[in-house]
Amino acid sequence: MGNKKHDGIEQPSSNAKQEQLNTFRVQNDGKPLTTNQGLRVDDDEHSLKAGTRGPTIMEDFHFREKMTHFDHERIPERVVHARGFGAHGVFELYESLSEFTKAKFLTDTSKQTPIFIRFSTVAGSRGSSDTVRDVRGFAVKFYTEEGNYDLVGNNMPVFFIQDAIKFPDFVHAVKPEPPNEIPQASSAHDTFWDFVGTNTESAHMIMWVMSGRALPRSFRMMEGFGVHTFRFINEEGKSHFVKFHWKPKLGIHSLVWDETQKVAGKDPDFNRRDLWDAINEGNFPEFELGVQILKEEDEFSFSFDILDSTKLWPEEVVPVRIIGKMTLNRNTDNFFAETEQVAFHSGHVVPGIDFTNDPLLQGRLFSYTDTQLLRLGGPNFAEIPINRPITPVHNNQRDGMHRMTINPGQVSYHNNGLANNTPSTPPQSDGEYRHHEEKIEGRKIKARSHSFDDHFSQAAMFWHSMSTIEKGQIVDAFRFELGKVLSKEVRQRVVDVFSQVAEELAEQVAVEIGATATKGVAVEPTFISPALSMMNTVKSAATRKVAVLVSNGFSATEINGLLQALTQAKVKAEIVSKTQAPIAGDDGTMLEPKQSLLTAASVLYDAVYIAGGQQSVTELLSDVKSSEFVREAFLHYKTIAAVGEGKELLTAAKVALDNSANNNGALSGILLRTESQSDDTFANSFIESIAQHRHWDRTFHP
């Protein structure tokens, strides 16, 4: 597809970014090997030598070019968000927001806007694990017809600090400690918790990080937030405050802590592999874009400051208006060229979107460009293909490292007469960006507004909005993290801080770590927000992974019916057996296992199905790893289904059955096939149970 006309102006097509990237794509299949200068090479196995056993000759320009390029293949990793993974997609608008903004991609419902997204962890290095306890970056680059717009956010709506000048301090505290570079990708150490105990503005964010929000099951199953308060500006110049939300269509789901630690060893690429596979299989992740919009005259209508990035706007007070959908539909062709070189910046905006005086946002407007100058080799990082806008670029910027644009002509300044003063700024409004006019007056001062002084009420709101299960997980997280802190003074200081959030939280943590909670100092929550609890999220079995435990002699009719039902429900089943050698069913049907008990683990799946057939079950029981597999799934609250003789494997795994529950154990997520149940009925019950994600009524904590 080419460009299309819109209001008489040539407009980029919806796949304009892909078309642009295609011009940089090089296919090597069937092509002769060349140097970077296009010279064909006769041999790429041997360097040029003086005799077969002689020294290498410096004349070998091909060797020197190849080795020099290899020596310089790595660029500095990001200071934060180093561990990331990206994908391409499109954004579609449900309804026009022309009442609030003049941004064309938010006003024209006929458009599809190309996007690139990068998910990431914050603290760890590029080589760290996906499943650590951490905030997740959620950055989206919109390639709009008015230029690139970057919505650079996280999977949590608030942040650790209120002013950007504190950002280096926070990052230094959470990073590995300087004497020994330990621990990697972990906040469970002294310097981080010393920061928390002495910088109480972080209290609200800590509640989020100690919750399941910091342990997402998948990038596809976590929310995204713009964090800051931005402005919408409409054609008349009227301003509204706005916060951005991404809502996953699959709901918000997490791993449990014991599970994340094991996944990190079994598959450190767990989240990125999940996203890559889902897109490859056509299960395109979808996120709906929502906005909270506030009139300027309501700026001071709340008990908190709307410009404070450690505060959120409760959805029950300021509803989230769903306005569009983002679909991730294409994986990258090259991780380095796209995901590693993509450059996001909070200051990349389009007409109709502007900034506020949030001091954390103001600092980000400087920091992002500054870091790209180091990482990407100079000021021309916008010319890297993944960063190029789909609109033409015309300005008087010249030269610099890695300049790719060739600008003809003698003029490179403004104003000029030799080129009729082009490129020029328009004499009147013609779609250009104009900063919102705002009256500002005040004394130059290094201070923070007293409206930012409340550090505990929203932390208390978060705690009191959680379910009993979620509160238990938060307590366990505090106990683990502070249990790794060596300093007794730091542990006590943190308990003192969170005694002001919730007395029961502080007491339960203190008793485990040898500290003392302070009574009677906890603040009362200003609001209870059910939207904060993941228990109230969407529940779906679609794209979940199921381990089907089978061996020779399995019931073929049963398995064939199950696999068909799971496929129809968009549930991904993987055959797991003792080995990866083909296995035969009771009617001679052959299956080829995807994984063996050696290469697989229950933590890599959402549910387990144990097939019927005495021979199959007996063979599985001969390997202790099969009962360990089932036992671990049980401890992580996952759905387990067993047919016929499969119940023997449950017994070997010491799985407790709730025989008083409906469906012979379904209440606790343990499903046993009864004689009266048909294959279809049992398969549907299994799928419905998977959709619940976890079965917390097992009343224990792994």
Nearest to 105 by CA among 16, 217, 37, 178: 16
Among residues 15, 62, 88, 154, the one annotated as catalytic is: 154
CA 544, distance to chain mean position in Å, is 17
CATH architecture of the domain 456-535 equals: Up-down Bundle (1.20)
What residue segments make up the domains of the chain, in order of their start?
84-159+214-387, 456-535, 539-698
Which token pair is 269?
Answer: 């690429």
Q: What percent of the chain has pLDDT over 90?
A: 81
CA-angle at 247, arms to 245 and 250, nearest 5°:
165
pLDDT of residue 663: 44
Backbone angles phi, psi at 323, to 5 degrees: -120, -10
What are 243's strand-pairing partners? 292
Residues 620, 646 contacting (CB under 8 angstroms): no
Q: How far apart are CA 141 and CA 342, in angstroms?
A: 9
Q: How does strand 286-295 pair with strand 239-248? A: antiparallel
Domain at 84-159+214-387, CATH from 2.40.180.10, 1.10.10.10, 2.170.270.10, 1.10.3720.10: 2.40.180.10
Residue 25 has pLDDT above 90, yes or no: no
| Residue 658 confidence class, pLDDT cut points 50, 70, 90 | low
Residues 6+ away with beta carbon under 8 Å from 99: 234
Q: For the beta carbon of residue 422, count every other beta carbon within 10 angstroms.
A: 12
Contacts of residue 624, Cβ cutoff 8 Å, sequence gap at least 6: none
Closest CA to 92 of 284, 264, 342: 284
Q: How far apart are CA 597 and CA 620, in angstroms?
A: 9
How far apart are the C-alpha atoms of 449 and 63, rounded to whole Å? 61
What pLDDT score does 13 carry?
Answer: 67
Q: What is the mean pLDDT of the segment spanning 587-603?
A: 96
Residue that has been written with the tokens 């904060």 in this structure: 532
Confidence (pLDDT) at 205: 98
What is the mean pLDDT of the segment spanning 330-336?
97
Q: Does pLDDT of 485 surpass 70?
A: yes
176, 182 contact by CB (below 8 A): yes
Q: What are the angstrom distances between the C-alpha of 621 and each of 56, 552, 607, 674?
A: 60, 12, 19, 22
If one counts every other C-beta atom within 10 angstroms of the C-beta of residue 535, the result is 17
Predicted pLDDT of residue 29: 86
Pick the CATH number of 539-698 from 3.40.50.880, 3.20.20.70, 3.30.70.20, 1.20.1510.10: 3.40.50.880
The yes-or-no answer on residue 148 being catalytic is no
pLDDT at 6 over 60: no
pLDDT at 445: 87
- Give me the pLDDT at residue 666, please: 44
Pick 295 or 65 by higher pLDDT: 295
Tell me the pTM: 0.93
Q: Cis check for the bond before 415: say yes or no (omega within 30 of 0).
A: yes
Q: How far apart are CA 172 and CA 180, in angstroms?
A: 14
What is the token pair recorded at 144?
């709009």
pLDDT band of residue 418 (cuts 50, 70, 90) is very high
505-554 pLDDT, tens digit each: 999 999 999 999 999 999 999 899 999 999 999 999 999 999 999 999 99
CB proximity list for 522: less than 8 A, separation 6 or greater: 460, 499, 500, 501, 502, 503, 506
pLDDT of residue 555: 92
600-641 pLDDT, tens per residue? 999 999 999 999 999 999 999 999 999 999 999 999 999 999
Lowest mean pLDDT among 16-20, 476-480, 696-700: 696-700
Q: Is residue 4 predicted with pLDDT exceeding 60?
A: no
Residue 702 clears pLDDT 60, i.e. is over it: no
CA distance 362 to 364: 6
Does residue 1 carry a pLDDT above 60? no
Average pLDDT across the chain, whole number: 93
Q: What is the dihedral of CA 232, 235, 236, 238, to 10 degrees?
A: 0
Average pLDDT score over residue span 266-286: 98
Neighbouring CB atoms inside 10 A of 700's CB total 9
The predicted-structure confidence for 193-223, as pLDDT tens digits, reads as follows: 999 999 999 999 999 999 999 999 999 999 9
What pLDDT does residue 610 have? 97
Name the band, by pLDDT with cuts 50, 70 and 90, for residue 7: very low
Lowest-pLDDT range of 211-220, 376-385, 488-497: 376-385
Is residue 303 predicted with pLDDT exceeding 90?
Answer: yes
Question: Under a CB-based contact definition with an 8 Å cutoff, are residues 490 and 528 in contact?
Answer: no
Neighbours of 445 (CB within 10 A): 6
Q: Where are the alpha helices (DSSP H) in 416-538?
A: 457-464, 468-483, 488-499, 503-513
Residue range 102-138, pLDDT digits in tens: 999 999 999 999 999 999 999 999 999 999 999 999 9
Which amino acid is residue 41, in one-letter code?
V
Banded pLDDT at 662 (limits 50, 70, 90): very low
* Strands of the 572-577 sheet, one edge to the other: 595-596, 572-577, 545-549, 607-610, 639-642, 670-672
Per-residue confidence (pLDDT) for residue 565, from 0 to 100? 96
Comparison of pLDDT for 680 and 291, the residue scoring more: 291
pLDDT tens profile 666-677: 458 999 988 888
Render the burial of 467-492: b for 16+ CB within 10 Å, e for the rest: eebbbebbbbbbbbbbebbeeeebbb
Query: What does the pLDDT average to over 327-340?
Result: 97
Res. 368: pLDDT tops 60? yes
pLDDT of residue 201: 98
Inter-CA distances, 638 with 170, 583, 696, Å: 36, 26, 9
The verdict on whether omega for the bond into residue 183 sits within 30 degrees of 0, i.e. cis, is: yes
326, containing H or E segment: strand 321-330
Q: Which of 81, 204, 245, 455 is catalytic?
A: 81
Residue 421 annotated in active site:
no
Decide if 519 contacts 503 (C-beta within 8 A). Answer: yes
